[in-house]
Amino acid sequence: MSDVLAMGGYANYVWISFALFVFVLLLDALAPLLRRRQLLIHLRGQFRRQQARRNSA
């Protein structure tokens, strides 16, 4: 089993590249969710400001 994990002496390169791949894949999946959350917060604030302007007029 350790021979398989050592990958013929290239384990450092293989496992680091695998870890980077997983990291980038997670970022790629989470980025739209975080952006959506920020956008919703911004739009709620904008809506509240518009409502406050309408109520004060």
| Span 7-37, pLDDT tens digits | 888 888 999 999 999 999 999 999 999 999 9
Is the pLDDT at 3 greater than 90? The verdict is no
Q: In the chain, what are the helix, strand and coil shares in percent, each to the nearest 5?
A: 95, 0, 5
Is the pLDDT at 4 greater than 80? The verdict is no
What's the pLDDT score for residue 19? 97
Is the pLDDT at 57 greater than 80? The verdict is no
Residue 10 has φ and ψ, to the nearest 5°, of -105, 15
